[in-house]
Structures are given as structure tokens and as C-alpha cells.
Structure 1
Amino acid sequence: MSLTRRRFCTFGAGLASIGLAGCLDRSSDEPEVEPDAESDVEGWTWTGSIPVDTAIQYHDSGCGCCVEYVEYLEEHGIDVTIEEVDDLAAVKTELSVPNELRSCHTTVFGDYLVEGHVPLEAVEAVFDNGDDESILGIAIPGMPQHAPGIGPPADEQLQVYSFTVDGETTEHVTV
């Protein structure tokens, strides 16, 4: 039996479906992390403060790293309401998150947006510099390997960007 392009594509699509089924077909009562697995928020400490104690996070259902980021926030005293949405890109567009800064979730802290796995030190810094009313939010684009909810801290610093309603982005702080 020869391997034709059609068989190869069919086989590849089948494997991809099986792989995605494990990620997307997660019931709400299943744990997001294996019981004996180390949490992706361990090692992320923060002793500062921000003037809000609640946040709203928008993300797709079944995203384990988004849930880990919520755990990180809650471990530091922030009560998070999770909004699972069907069209996350539309929510990000409505909130004015620039395309080049997008990540897997958007969290609203008071008047500021926090895009992605941003350490609380950077969230604190944006509130401390609240006199710059042009800033709509801060972001770490993509999913960097060593960020809260993805992996333990590392020696490399994370670049955090700020953005405005008009979509202008600026390097804001490194943490």
C-alpha cells in the first residue's frame, strides 16, 4: 500500500483531531493540572499592592494556562471573575488590544487591561504611574516560557509593553 498525499493528509488530520480533543474536550469538573504536577505559579512571589482587589479575565474555555494565571492572581489576594467567551478575538478588538500584543487572555484590573501572563510587579507599576492617562493597558505578547501561569521565574527578564486606545505601543517596564 503506497502512501498517497490524500492518505497522508487524512492520517495527519486524524492525529490532529485526537490531539485537539484532549485539549478542547475538557469537562469543567476535571482538574486542569495533573494532581502530582507542579503548579506553573510556584516561585512567583509578589509583596506589593495595587488599588483593586478584583479583576475580570476573558479567555477561551479549556485553556489551562489561563486558569493557572487566575490561580496566581488569587494566591496574591485578587478575586478573579472568569468570563469564558466563544470569540476572544472579538472581545480583544472591542477592548482595543493591539493585534501585535495579544496573548491567550485579557484581564481587566479597574481601568486597565492586562494582556497575557504579566507579573503583578508590572501591574503595580502601571497603577503607580497612573498619571499617564493615555495608557489603556499593558501586555506581554504571546506566551513566554517563564511567566506566571506558564512556567517558573527565570533569569531572563520579561518585557512588558503599554498600549493606548489608539493602538500605540511602547516598552513599559521589564520585570
Structure 2
Amino acid sequence: MTRQLLGRRDVLLAGVGLAGIAAVPALATTGQTPVHVRKDPDCGCCTAWVDILKADGFPVTVEMVPPDELFQFKLAQGIPETMVSCHTAEAGGYLIEGHVPPADLRRLLEDKPAALGLAVPGMPWGSPGMGPEAEREAYDVFLLARDGTTTVFASYPAA
């Protein structure tokens, strides 16, 4: 019976396999649903919101869309005109309109309500990406129903 030693290639392949297995629990714990953001190329607050999501562990991709095309996309997806903000994201089959806090996005993805998504209409000061939270104005996060109606999902009082 002959003994065969592991070759360099075998060791490298085993190392890659172990690294891949080790990464799975890390993905499960950060376990964030990917977020795809459509935004106006000139909007800095949208970029700030994306950075906040990334810092919170969400994998984010960004697509630059001209403002008129972005507005038409929002309406075509069923976002009521009264709920429109500066950017639109998609995550886990939901639409996320505007400066929705990451905690509310997580709650939506965990609870999985039968809904179109969430919206923070306009651009309230102190919402994520819109200035310091310590100077926040009061705002609501709305749950968007597929029939166009809305209900308050979360409320943030003025700071």
C-alpha cells in the first residue's frame, strides 16, 4: 500500500473551501437582505442614506437614474404621489421610498407584512442622511399598502 502526500494544490483547495464555510456564519449573522437603490446622480442626501445602510450591514447597490425617469418609476410601481421622496430602493420584494431608518427596514423584512413597502415622504430634517438626529424634526414612516392606502409604521418625535 502506497501513501500519498497531499500536494500543494490539495492544501490550497481545502483552504479555500474552509474559508468559504467560515464565511457562511458571518453572512448569516450580518444576514442582511440586499438593497438596490435608484437615485438621482446629483443627490448627496441619497448617498448619505446609502452609506448609513452600508454601515448598518446592508449590502447596497446603486443605480443612477435621471430625475424624470425615477419619478415615473415610482408611480409605475404604485408609490402614491403624496409619499414620494428623493430615492427609491428595493429590498426583499419591498419598495423603500426615501430616508427610512435601517431599524424600520429590518422590522419590515422580519415581519413580512402584505404590503408594497415603506415610505418617508419628503426629506425630513434629521431622518437618516438628512442632517443630525439631535436636530430632528418629527416625521412618520408609512407602510404602503398595495391598494395605495397608508398607515403609520413608526413615528419619530422632534429632537
TM-score (norm 1): 0.65
SS in 1 for 2:85: coil
Runs of 4+ in 1 over 6 A off after TM superposition: none
Question: Which protein has greater RCO, CA pairs closer than 8 Å, 6+ apart?
Answer: 1
Structure 2, gaps ≥5 residues long = 1-28
1:136 Cα offset (Å): 0.8
Equivalence for 1:165: 146
- Find the aligned partners of 2:43 and 2:107 in 1 and give their Cα distance: 27
- Find the aligned partners of 1:166 and 1:52 in 2 and give their Cα distance: 28
SS in 2 for 1:107: strand
Number of matched residues? 125
- The RMSD of aligned alpha carbons is 1.9
- Find the aligned partners of 2:42 and 2:98 in 1 and give their Cα distance: 16
In terms of Rg, which structure is larger? 2
1:116 paired to 2:98: yes
Q: Determine which structure has the larger helix proportion and give its number.
A: 2
TM-score (norm 2): 0.72
- Find the aligned partners of 1:110 and 1:52 in 2 and give their Cα distance: 10
Contact residue 39 and residue 46 of structure 2 kept, 8 A? yes
Amino acid at match of 1:104: C
Q: Show the 5 A alignment for 1:119-134.
A: 119-130=101-112, 132-133=113-114
Please, which of 65, 79, 101 is the counterpart of residue 59 of structure 2?
79
Structure 1, gaps ≥5 residues long = 1-48
- Find the aligned partners of 1:69 and 1:105 in 2 and give their Cα distance: 9
1:60 Cα offset (Å): 1.1
